[in-house]
A and B are shown apart, each in its own frame.
Chain A
Amino acid sequence: MRGRTAAIAVSGLFAAAVLGGLAARGRRRPPARRTRRDHAARQLDWGAATLAGSVLFDSAIEHYRGSFEHLGMYVPLAVASASMATSLSGGRCPGQLRTGTSVAAMLAGVAGLGFHVYDISKRTGGWSWQNLFYAAPVGAPGALSLAGLIGLAAQQLRSGDWPSDQQSGRALAALASAGILGDVAEVWLLHFRGAFHNPAMYLPVTVPPAASLALAGIAVGAGRPTLQTTRGWLWATAATGLAGVGFHAWGVHRMMGGWRNWSQNLLDGPPLPAPPSYTGLAIAGLASLRMMEDRHD
């Protein structure tokens, strides 16, 4: 069955990316003493990898649903796997390769955005709720760009091209804040489509916006909220992302035929791999906070 083959292929890609990335990472011993900068960089790696992983599976499912009608639909799968692998390998990955994949991810995301916008505008009804709900999701490719950007930041930070200071921290906080907000818009749209039929569906449109707001406060240097509060919101957002997978798995079970009817329900039910994008972005946000603290070093 084609669905099964595709599922195996994508899982293979994922496994290869994870194992490849981690193997590269493990090849050399870590430096004796980690600096905050290292910690932040590593955290950014994790954030980028999580985000890329989410994009990999989500685009695999959505594009499988779209029957991979043209070759371009494979691009996000390839780029997201590469970006995951390089992010996981952390500092062990040659700088140029790392930069290359990150830039590719950013570009692929922008191109995807363009494709999706084009797809909607040429459909009957144009920018209608119907197409916003059911056509190619406008915001989704943005996550790939974000994964690229965060990956790039990690690398620049590690290589010292980018100082780990207040200013960089703020910039990164702004990025994470905007990213989370974009994600919130997407989640709101899809949960609105689902008529918020389960109260838990409000969670991902309340907690992450709070985190985004807090991060924005940090980014503009408003002095409030405290790093501590912001960190709390970010952890909550990260947890929301993980819990989302569980909720969505429950959602698939609630569809007709449940998991036995996976060939329909994985596609029509709530998307399993989508929620961890929150986790990825929240981790990046946490990294930005760590950078802000660098002055205490």
Chain B
Amino acid sequence: MSDDPMQTPRATKGRAPDVFMPGGWVPMREYREDEKVDFVIVGTGAGGGTLACKLAEAGFSVVAMDAGPYWRPLEDFASDESHQSKLYWTDDRIVDGLNPLQLGSNNSGKSVGGSTVHFAMVSLRFRPEWFKSRSKLGYGFDWPLDWREMWAYYREVEDALAISGPVNYPWGPPRPRYPYRAHQLNAAALALAEGCEAMGIPWTETPIATLSAPRGRARPCVYRGFCVLGCSTNAKQSALVTWIPRAIAAGAEIRDLAMVGRVEVDRSDRATGVHYHRNGNWRFQRARNVVVAGYAIETPRLLLNSASDRFPEGLANSSGLVGKYITVQSNQAVWGTSDKEIRSYKSPPSLALTEHWNYEDEGKDFHGGYCYMSQGPEPQLWANTLLSGRGLWGDALVSEMQNYNHVVGLKMVGEMLPQERNAVTLADETDQYGLPIPCVTYSWCDNDRAMIDHALGFMGQALRATDARDIWEQTDDTCHLNGGARMGDDPRTSVVDADCRSWDIPNLWICDGSVFPTVGGVNPSLTIQAIACRTGDRIAAMARRGEL
């Protein structure tokens, strides 16, 4: 049998890989397929991995499946950009619209641990008003959640991930001190700070999910800077090394290389389990509850692919909103060349940031907010940025690449507005499992463009205030996917309720980035995990009251 984790499942025979030891194993409980487990969870990323842990720790029987492999970062991860593309979801997908998205490396992962295995670890809280952006700020949609409750769940996640952050956070209502201290700033972060000080706005060290001191069996960050290509030291507090080991210890089973193709629903409109593909065969796992947590493209796709006689438009889709209102974030940048050596390949890429324009509403000609942070592209990514963003190739490219060590940049994460036309639908073509592939349509709106203009202008000024020269704008990038199965108070205008329970099928839940009604101006993973923690607690409470 091959020991390639991309070919042969590792979590079998009552054991799962020990992520902290090359070649190591930990014991894992296994469930029979004909045994009705309390929960089967589709996807083990920020949403699914977290919820698997919470539910298992609450005493439920849990099987969590992921289409991706089960890595042991210490032995499986190379310091190599090309090779590490094995972490991305690169199955066939079609993009369309006026501003087609670039997916793959940019958006979603396919691993036990999901996209958190290769995310950049930036761990920010929503601005409280964003949970009620329609009523408080006049745009987007209200969430059915209260920020004060979320504040407590953010804390739970920050503790679970031992977030390294500043001693005092400059924006928003007071928050408790981050569990770990901030990392030493690299040159790229210092340039951000200099720019902010010149512009007279506050900046801070980015709260980030990588260790600044040892923790359990995980070792602290060595500042190798390959974070978005997978962390080979386990300093990165991904779901793979945090929630999932906890879930297994609490009795959950993880099934790797298990692609779910369909959620089965019976005559009484209750989900009965999932059809999944593993080891070359289609199989069926029975379950009392099904949680879909495949992220903003795969979650709607699975719900649409599970259409049946009783639900011809797909599951949980009586509102017609499954796959609608997907929302990415603007990720434009300004770049320049410094006389100083920056060498931004060292350290996690975004060690400093400013949330000024998330919290300041004066002087904006657009809705929503954005933050911006320092950057640290590795060579291939940088060369491709010069090609696609600046149009360089040939001698111009090769010689500009010589300035690599002097490049300094600022990149925004901005709130795009949710629009119904931005959607995931099914294409006619099928993938390697024979399942219809998703088509992702995306177009920016005027508000999106106004914010991008504002951000590019402001970041440009900030960068000019440092010694950077040759400043140029990268105008085309987006990042992070959210929405597609949004939560709300009203079954007619949302797919799930505040507890991530679908309105249509009471034992079908959706718990990942797709439940976001709006995206806010910060990276989403902390909020996804906080929602998953809340959902876990709510489910446990409902079970105690017999409401499941």
Of the 9-residue stretches B178-186, B399-407, B521-529, which lies at the interface with chain A?
B178-186
CB distance from A47 to the nearest CB of B (A): 31
Tell me the smallest distance from the CB of A252 to a CB of chain B, in Å: 11
- Interface residues in B162-199 by Cβ distance below 8 A to A read 162, 166-167, 179-182, 184-185, 190, 193-194, 197
Q: With an 8 A cutoff between CB atoms, is A171 at the interface?
A: no
Contacts known (A124-B193, A195-B213); A256 close to B219, Cβ less than 8 A? yes
Bound Cα distance A251, B197 (Å): 36
Complex contact A130–B220 (CB within 8 A): no
Cα distance A256–B181 in the bound complex, in angstroms: 18
With both beta carbons as reference points, the residue of chain B lying nearest to A131 in the complex is identified as B185
In the complex, which residues of chain A have a beta carbon less than 8 angstroms from the beta carbon of B214? 197-198, 251, 254-255
For residue B233, CB closer than 8 A to chain A, the reply is: yes
- Taking the closest CB of chain A, its distance from the CB of B166, in whole angstroms, is 7
A261 to B224, CA, bound (A): 13
A194 & B235 in contact (Cβ 8 Å cutoff): no
Interface-central residue, B182, B185, B213, B215, by most chain A CB under 10 Å: B213
8 A Cβ contacts from B202-254 to A: 205, 212-215, 219-220, 222, 233, 235
Using CB atoms, name the residue of chain A closest to B192.
Answer: A124
CA distance A71 to B222 in the complex (A): 29
A134 to B182, CA, bound (A): 10
Does A268 lie at the interface of the complex (its beta carbon under 8 Å from any beta carbon of B)? yes
| A74 at the binding interface (Cβ < 8 Å) | no
Q: Are the C-beta atoms of B222 and A256 separated by less than 8 Å? A: yes
Residues in A whose Cβ lies below 8 Å from that of B222: 255-257, 261, 264, 268
Interface range, B side: 20 to 34
Which of A130, A195, A268 contacts B180 (CB under 8 A)?
A195
Answer whether residue A129 sits at the interface, using C-beta atoms and an 8 A cutoff.
Answer: yes
- Do A134 and B194 have beta carbons less than 8 Å apart? no
- Given A133-B184, A256-B219, A256-B235: A194 touches B167 (CB 8 Å cut-off): no
Report A-chain residues with C-beta under 8 Å of the C-beta of B233: 256
A192 at interface, CB cutoff 8 A: yes
Most-contacted residue by chain B among A198, A254, A264 (CB, 10 A): A254
CA of A87 to CA of B68 in the docked complex: distance in angstroms? 64
Verify A129–B167 contact, CB threshold 8 A.
yes
- List the A residue with the shortest CB-CB distance to B220: A255
A123-161 interface with B by 8 A CB criterion: 124-125, 129-130, 133-134
What CA separation (Å) do A194 and B182 show in the bound complex?
10
Please tell me the number of chain A residues within 8 Å of chain B, measured between CB atoms: 20
**Residue of A124, A133, A194, A264 with highest tally of chain B CB at under 10 A:** A124
Bound-state Cα–Cα, A197 to B220, Å: 11
Nearest CB of B to A270, in Å: 10
Which among A125, A133, A197 is the interface contact of B193 at CB below 8 angstroms? A125
A-chain residues with CB within 8 Å of residue B167 when the two chains form the complex: 129
Taking chain A's interface residues, is the majority helix, strand, or loop, or is none over half, making it mixed?
A: helix
Instruction: Kindly state whether residue A39 has any CB partner on chain B within 8 Å.
Output: no
CB-based contact B219/A134 at 8 Å:
no
Contact of B185 among A130, A192, A254, A264 (CB under 8 A): A130
Q: Say if the beta carbon of A193 comes within 8 Å of chain B.
A: yes
Task: List chain B residues, Cβ under 8 A from A198.
Answer: 214
Tell me if A133 and B181 are in contact (CB < 8 A).
Answer: yes
Q: Please, which residue of chain B has its CB at the minimum distance from the CB of A269? A: B220
In the complex, what's the smallest C-beta–C-beta distance from B545 to chain A, in angstroms? 39
**Cβ of A195 and Cβ of B179 under 8 Å apart?**
yes
Nearest A residue (CB) for B203? A125
Please state if B194 and A254 are interface contacts (CB–CB under 8 Å): no
**Would B184 and A130 count as touching, CB distance under 8 A?**
yes
Residues of B close to A129: CB separation below 8 A: 166-167, 181-182
Bound-complex Cα distance A195 to B159 (A): 12
Interface centre among B182, B197, B214 (most CB of A within 10 A): B214
The reply to whether B213 and A130 contact each other, CB–CB distance below 8 Å, is no
**Residues in B whose Cβ lies below 8 Å from that of A268:** 222
Chain A nearest CB: distance from B532 CB in Å? 25
Q: A129-B182, A192-B181 are in contact. Are A256 and B190 (CB under 8 A)?
A: no
Shortest distance in angstroms between A59's beta carbon and chain B's nearest beta carbon? 19
Contact in complex: B219, A255 (CB < 8 Å): yes
Q: Mark B15-45, 1 if CB is under 8 A from A, else 0.
A: 0000000000000000000000000000000
> Hey, which chain B residues are within 8 Å of A261, CB to CB?
222
**B178 nearest in chain A by CB position:** A195
**Taking the nearest CB of chain A, how far is it from the CB of B224, in angstroms?**
9
The interface residues of chain B lying within 8 Å CB-to-CB of A124 are 190, 193-194, 197
- With a cutoff of 8 Å between Cβ atoms, the chain B residues found around residue A130 in the complex are 166, 182, 184-185, 205
Say how far B347's CB is from chain A's closest CB, in angstroms.
Answer: 12
B209 to chain A minimum Cβ distance, whole angstroms, is 14
Instruction: Name the distance in Å between A251's Cβ and chain B's nearest Cβ.
Output: 8
Across the interface, do A194 and B190 meet the contact criterion of CB distance under 8 Å?
Answer: no
Distance between Cα atoms of A254 and B214 in the complex (Å):
7
Q: Are A194 and B197 touching (Cβ within 8 A)? A: no
Report the separation of the CA atoms of residues A268 and B347 in the bound assembly, to the nearest whole angstrom.
13
Query: A194 CA to B167 CA in the complex, in Å?
Result: 13
With A124-B193, A124-B197, A125-B193 known as contacts, the answer to whether A195 contacts B219 (CB < 8 A) is no
Closest to A193 in B: B181
A195 and B212 form a contact (CB under 8 A): yes
Residue in chain A with minimal CB distance to B182: A130
How far is B73's CA from A293's CA once the two chains are assembled, in angstroms? 62
Q: Return chain A residues, CB-CB under 8 Å to B205.
A: 130
Shortest distance between the CB of A266 and any CB in chain B (Å): 13
Tell me, rounded to whole Å, the shortest Cβ–Cβ distance linking B182 to chain A: 6
Find chain A residues with CB under 8 A from B194 CB. Answer: 124
> Which residues does chain B contribute within 8 Å of A254, judged by CB atoms?
214, 219
- Pairs of residues from A and B, 9 with the lowest C-beta to C-beta distance, nearest first: A134-B184, A194-B213, A197-B213, A256-B219, A256-B233, A195-B180, A129-B167, A124-B193, A256-B222
Listed in ascending order, the chain B residues whose CB lies under 8 Å from chain A are 162, 166-167, 179-182, 184-185, 190, 193-194, 197, 205, 212-215, 219-220, 222, 233, 235
9 A-B pairs with CB atoms under 8 Å apart are A125-B193, A130-B182, A134-B184, A192-B181, A195-B179, A195-B180, A197-B215, A256-B235, A268-B222
4 A-B pairs besides A129-B182, A133-B182, A255-B222 with CB distance below 8 A are A124-B194, A195-B213, A197-B180, A264-B222
